[in-house]
Amino acid sequence: MTGERRVRGKPVMMDVARLAGVSHQTVSRVLNEHPSVRSETRERVLRAMEELDYRRNSAARALVTNRSHTLGLVTFDTTLVGPSSTVYAIERAARDAGYFVSVASARSLDEGSVANAINRLREQAVEGIITVAPMDSALAALARVPADIPLVGIGVGEAMGVPMVSVDNIAGAAMATKHLVDLGHATVHHISGPPEWPETRERVTGWRTTLRQVGAPEAPVLSGDWSSRSGYEAARMLASDPNVTAIFCGNDQMALGALRALHEAGRDVPTEVSVVGFDDIPEAAYLLPPLTTVQQDFAALGRASLELLVEQITAGVRTQQHMRFPPELVVRESTGR
C-alpha cells in the first residue's frame, strides 16, 4: 500500500511508477532521495513526475512516517525590518532543509495572543516551534509550552527554559557608542526602542556601560517605538541643544527620522551632529548622508534558529542553549569628528 488515493483525477505514485516503468517502491526511494537508486532511473522517475504534475501527498506521508516535516513559526503583524527579515531567513533555511513552515501570526504580542498562536500550530502537529515575538508579554506564553515540544525563541532575552537565538545587542550598542566617543564627542545621546522589548534594554545597557567606562555624562534616554516618526520627534527635542553632537538610535528607522529633524533644525550631519543607527536596513547606504549603523546578519539568525530546532527534534530533548551572534559596525558618512 502506498498510503495514497486518487483524488479528482490527480496522479498518484502508482501512475508515476507505471509511466517510468518502475515499481512504486522505486518511486518512493526517489522521493526520499535514497542513494541506492541509479542516476538514470532517478531521472526517468523525475521526468514522469514532471509530466504528470505529480505532487507528494503530505498527509499520507505523515500517516506512514508519523512525521509532518512541518515547523511552526509564531510571528506578529509588523513592517519592522528586523522581525520581517528574520522570518524570511527562517522560511528560507527551513525550505533548504526540507521542511514546510506553517505561520501563525499573533494579533498582538500579549501573552494570550501568543499562546493562541502556539496552540494553533500544535493542533497542526508541527514538529517544533520558532517564535519571533520579542516582547516581555510574550515570554510567559513561551514558558508555558510543554518541555517535550522543541522550541526556539528569537530576540526574547534570557527567558527561563526557552532556547534563544539573537544578535549580541549589548556588544552592538557598545560598538556604536565607542565609535562616537572615539571621534571626540563628549557624550552620546540615545533614542531607544520601546522599553518592553528585551532588545531595547540590551542596547541601552551597551550604550550606558560604554559611557560609564569612559567617564562620559549620561543624558536621559528618549524612548521611541522603532518608527521614523518617533525618531523624528525625539531628535527635534535634541536638535535645539548645541551641546548635542552625537546620537545613537536604537534602529535605522528612528535614525532616518532623526536625520530629517536635524536637517529641518539646520544642524548639519556629520559636521555638527553625528548619527548612528542599528540593523543596516537596505536603504541605509542610500540615505543622505549614508548612515553609519550596526549590522545584523538576519540570514545567520534564521539558519541558527532552524539548526537549533532540528537538533531538538532529532534528539527528542529541549536544549537550554542560548546563541548570540556578534554584530558588525558599518561606518559610513553620518559620523565624523
Cell of 283: 536603504
Three-state secondary structure readout of 96-148:
HCCCEEEEEEECCCCHHHHHHHHHHHHHCCCCCEEECCCCHHHHHHHHCCCCC
How high is the pLDDT of residue 157? 66
d(CA 22, CA 3): 18
SS3 157: coil
How high is the pLDDT of residue 259? 98
Cell of 281: 536596513
Domains of the chain plus CATH, in order, are 4-56 (1.10.260.40), 68-166+298-325 (3.40.50.2300), 169-296 (3.40.50.2300)
Bond into 289 cis (ω within 30): yes
Residue spans of the chain under pLDDT 70: 1-9, 32, 56-68, 77, 156-160
What predicted TM-score, i.e. pTM, was given to this entire model? 0.78
How high is the pLDDT of residue 316? 84
List of residues 6+ apart from 317 with CB closer than 8 A: none
How high is the pLDDT of residue 68? 60
Secondary structure letter of residue 193 according to DSSP: -
Pairing relationship of beta strands 292-295 and 328-330 according to DSSP bridges: antiparallel
Q: Could you tell me if 210 and 148 are in contact, meaning their C-beta atoms sit under 8 angstroms apart?
A: no
